[in-house]
Amino acid sequence: MDSSPLLAFVGGTEVVRLIADSGLVAKGVLVVLLLFSLFSWTVIFAKARSFRRARAQSEQFVRAFRRCEKFSDLHAMSDQFRPSPLVAVFQFGYEELRNQAAGTLHTGQMRANGLVAVQRALQIGSSEQLSAMERMLSWLATTGAVSPFVGLFGTVWGIIDAFYGLGTSGAGNIRTVAPGISEALITTAAGLFVAIPAVIAYNHFLGNLRDFGTRMDNFSLEFLNVSERNYTS
């Protein structure tokens, strides 16, 4: 008979017992780590959903941009692609393009050096969108960096308490101190359990941000190419 499920069950109950028997400091550390974990997973799920929607809408918006003959037509229907950061970049460039075109003598045309202002507007739009997409990612970085040390604090405190109990009892047996050390090490394991998913998610989202930054740069260049062909004199 395979005893591994039984051993896993016994091990699980032992962990629960160790947590229940741990001191107030260790329990406080575990509560703090639990709060870190809950908030981190909330950020992870929210960001994963946000990036997924932004990626899908960006692909549709680029296809609409390449099919559309007039910027004004695309501007009128751009709200349906709103989760895409490219929409805001387009709107920044479109508004500056309209301002430049309205200030010229030739209707619907603009001076070639006016594209420099359009380029700056596109860069501002891209920067604002990247800043918005980066929001709350710093929490994941903080969780990944701080949680192991919070857990280590609980462990160090538990070991100090265990050895203090060993000294006051006068017993030199390892069995006397082993339960206290086991309880203390639970907080280190909890700290790593909280930190590892946060670090993995943070690095994954940073890769997504670099991808969106490239998408916005490419879209800005494409926008400038169309503007130069159709609006400069």
* Domain range summary for the chain, segments of one domain joined by +: 4-231
- Specify the pLDDT at position 160: 78
SS3 113: coil
Residue 63 has pLDDT above 80, yes or no: yes
CB 150 within 8 A of CB 29: yes
Handedness of CA 32, 135, 210, 52 (dihedral sign): positive
pLDDT digits (tens, 9 = 90+) for 85-107: 999 999 999 998 888 766 654 44
Phi (first) and psi of residue 22, to 5 degrees: -70, 165
pLDDT exceeds 50 at position 213: yes
The tokens describing 61, both together, are 């918006």
φ/ψ of 106, rounded to 5, equals: -95, 120
Residue 59: name the closest of 91, 83, 92 by CA: 83
Q: Choose between 1 and 104: higher pLDDT.
A: 104
Amino acid at 19: I
- At residue 14, the pLDDT reads 65
What is the residue-averaged pLDDT of the chain? 82
* Rounded (10°) angle between helices 174-231 and 114-134: 160
Tally helices (H) and strands (E) across the chain: 7, 0
What pLDDT, on a 0 to 100 scale, did the predictor assign at position 103? 62
